[in-house]
A and B are shown apart, each in its own frame.
Chain A
Amino acid sequence: MNREDFEIFNTGVIYFDNGATTMKPKQVVDSVVDYYTKYTANAHRGDYENSLKVDTEYEKVREKVQKLIHSEKKEEIVFTAGATDSLNRIVFGFMKNYLSEGDEVLLTKAEHASNILPWMRLAEEIGIVIRYIPLPEKNEVSIENVLKSITDKTKVISIAHVTNVLGDVRPVHEIGEICQEKGILFVVDGAQSVPHRVVDVLKDHIDFLAFSAHKMLGPTGVGVLYGRYDLLEKLEPTTLGGGMNASFLADGEYELKSIPSRFEAGTPNIAGVIGLGSAIDYLLEIGMEIIQKYEAELRKYLLNRLSEIPNVIIYNQDIESSNIAFNLKDVFAQDTAIYLNHYHICVRAGNHCAKILKDELHVANTCRISLYFYNTKEEIDQLIEVLKKSEDIFKVIL
């Protein structure tokens, strides 16, 4: 749907790597160009018209994000450089003070590097203990395994809402309730969920949420950190400078601005934030439920069609997801991706930044198709046609 808004599809590209980044509709690009050509100014500064307009537009996006993720206050929305930046700020700006030696943090082996490596460093620095929720069946997180993994030292659960390799959807609502009941902080990596489905931080008791604009039609280099207001009060700014201080004196005394300005030091990514606002308008205009439903239908169609090809191995068949992780029998994932590229079909090959998932999946590398609402059955048909004649793969790629 809505393909006419995406100029890039006129190039003939078939884009199935939406878990990595998404295409940008004209509306988003125009909003960024408008800022650069019609009212460029810095935010939070001048007393002239354009600067006030920038301030207004920039702050409006906070309200749009608030609406998108259903947070209580718009001040709970902090603009960052992306989901990775948000997660690092949660770990080093908050958890470093909040946690002590021996405290346990629950993750899974299917997490993206940005939700594992910061914790590993924190473990080195202050001696927290990382534990992994087991993923036995279909690599999914079950409530039973969450409950089994919790000890009286568990202080945090930090997991993706939707994983980036298999695309499985975690039962965040139930986990959120468990966390609330047991006084555990619930950190959710929303990079793969916010673009595709309804996310409700209040209803699901999410304490911190991280996501990126570029995976949801927006510009690169901008993202969101949501934090419950009382937690943001204890979040230390990890970057200091202009725009985040209320005053400072030569004797070293300084006072921070209020929340969330204190977390946005320096000139923010104004164009990026404005583009994100336009992306949110675009998504909400279609409706997140409709996007989710359409992608589920599309995936079902893709699975059906893939079943026509005997040498396709699928690793995430029976789960709710908009991804398919697959390999061609006896072909290295990257060779398959290079083969598909000859037909202008973009898929991702590799471990998809989840380098320890192979312990669970027993296969190191896969090809990943990650769908978005602008993908079509016709594109899937073209993929199937190309995969069907893949016995000549080495003729094509060598």
Chain B
Amino acid sequence: MDANIRREIILDNYQNPKNRGLVENDSDYVVVNSNNESCIDNLDIQYKIQDGVLVDIHFDGEACAISTSATSIMIRSLIGKTVEEAKKILENYEAMIDEREYDADLLQELNVYDEIYLQPNRKKCALLPFESLKKVFKQLNL
């Protein structure tokens, strides 16, 4: 991916992230807190999962450009997907960050982080929203 396009997508998602701000007083949503143990990112991500589909996702909190943009792009990528599809994306995304083989077509916009391994101290930032996705699946036994 062209470096300028990559940067533009990340920056746009950092400065105008998708669904920032939590939905209040709606028991259909489950909130999961994610904080990066090695730094200071601290995000609450809120999931509405119905009939095996990720119907809606919101987030709030303070985090760096990589974590925030990755959360925004994750939200864009997962809304409307089934739990099974989301798990596939999760698996391939983690593989990409860890420099293992992965299906780039499946990840679409999430491919902007395909060179994050060049900055090893940022890997955790890129993985942060997906850690919360894992947590929510575990919490709901999905």
Contact A394 B63 (CB under 8 A): no
- Candidates A350, A394, A397; contact of B39 at CB < 8 Å: A350
Interface range, A side: 10 to 19
Whether A365 and B7, one on each chain, are in contact in the complex, defined by CB atoms closer than 8 angstroms, is no
Q: Which of B48-62 contact A (CB under 8 A)?
A: 62
Contact of A338 among B6, B41, B63, B64 (CB under 8 A): B64
A299 to B47 CA separation, bound complex (whole angstroms): 47
Report if A370 contacts B (CB, 8 A).
no
Chain A, range 334-366, C-beta contacts under 8 Å to B: 334-335, 338, 349-351, 364-365
The CA-CA distance from A349 to B38 in the complex, in Å, is 11
Q: How far is the CB of A247 from chain B (nearest CB, A)?
A: 46
Report, as a range, how many residues of chain B touch the other chain. 10 to 19
Question: Counting CB contacts under 8 A, is B65 at the interface?
Answer: yes
Distance to closest chain A CB from B76 (angstroms): 18
Contact of A350 among B6, B40, B65 (CB under 8 A): B40
Task: Answer yes or no: A389 CB below 8 A from chain B CBs.
Answer: no
Q: How far is it, in angstroms, between the C-alpha of A284 and the C-alpha of B5 when the chains are bound?
A: 56
Find out whether the CB atom of A364 lies under 8 angstroms from the CB atom of B62.
yes
Chain B residues lying within 8 Å of A301, measured Cβ to Cβ, are none
Q: Does B133 contact A (CB under 8 A)?
A: no
Which of chain A's residues have a CB closer than 8 A to the CB of B14?
A: 394
Whole-angstrom distance between the alpha carbons of A350 and B14 in the complex?
19
Least distance between A256 CB and chain B CB atoms (Å)? 39
Are A398 and B40 within 8 A (Cβ)? no
CB contacts (< 8 Å) of B110 on chain A: these are none
**Chain A CB within 8 A of B10 CB:** yes
Question: Are the C-beta atoms of A335 and B65 separated by less than 8 Å?
Answer: yes
B11 at the interface (CB under 8 A from A): yes
User: How many Å from the CB of A209 to the closest CB on chain B?
Assistant: 30
Find chain B residues with CB under 8 A from A349 CB: 39-40
| Chain A, Cβ-Cβ closest to B122 | A338
CB distance from B104 to the nearest CB of A (A): 20
Note all chain B residues with C-beta closer than 8 A to A365. Answer: 40, 62
Contact: B10 with A398, CB < 8 Å?
Answer: yes
Are A395 and B64 in contact (CB-based, < 8 A)?
no
CB within 8 Å for A398 and B39 given contacts A332-B62, A335-B64, A364-B62: no
Q: Which residue of B lies closest to A365 (CB)?
A: B40
Q: Are A394 and B40 in contact (CB under 8 A)?
A: no
Interface residues of A in 357-398 (CB under 8 A from B): 364-365, 394-395, 397-398
Taking the nearest CB of chain B, how far is it from the CB of A43, in angstroms? 36
A97 to chain B, nearest CB (A): 35
Q: Does A141 contact B (CB under 8 A)?
A: no
Instruction: Check: A187 CB closer than 8 A to any chain B CB.
Output: no
Q: 9 nearest interchain CB pairs?
A: A350-B40, A334-B64, A398-B7, A332-B64, A398-B10, A335-B64, A335-B65, A365-B40, A394-B11
Instruction: Give 6 A-B pairs besides A365-B62, A395-B7 with Cβ atoms closer than 8 angstroms.
Output: A334-B41, A335-B65, A364-B40, A394-B7, A394-B11, A398-B66
Query: What are 25 A-B residue pairs whose CB atoms fall within 8 Å in the complex?
Result: A332-B63, A332-B64, A332-B65, A333-B40, A334-B40, A334-B41, A334-B64, A335-B64, A335-B65, A338-B121, A338-B122, A349-B39, A350-B40, A364-B40, A364-B42, A364-B62, A365-B62, A394-B7, A394-B14, A394-B65, A395-B7, A398-B6, A398-B7, A398-B10, A398-B11
